[in-house]
Amino acid sequence: MAKKKRRKASRKNRSAALTQRALKLIDQAAALMKIGVIAGAKQGAKTRVVVKKKAYVLAAAAVRQLNRAVLKGGKVIRKSIKKL
């Protein structure tokens, strides 16, 4: 029984870790966009484009992290259903 509890806990920890990484990336993208809006007004279109691209890359990475978390969760659910 101890092994099963440990496995469940580690799955939850992995899922939580993926979610935390995704949230961190989203926060970084939001911060970049905020900086881009402030700096863009002062420095011009080139700065806005650079910041926009960086924010897009961070957002895409967050989407990949969340996608992995959802897929892993779905995999666990399907395995649990098969066991019933």
The tens digit of pLDDT for each residue in 25-48 reads: 888 888 877 777 776 666 777 777
pLDDT number for residue 42 = 65
Do residues 61 and 25 touch, judged by C-beta distance below 8 A? Answer: yes
> For residue range 40-72, what is the model confidence (pLDDT) as tens digits?
666 777 777 787 888 888 888 888 888 888 888
pLDDT number for residue 34 = 79
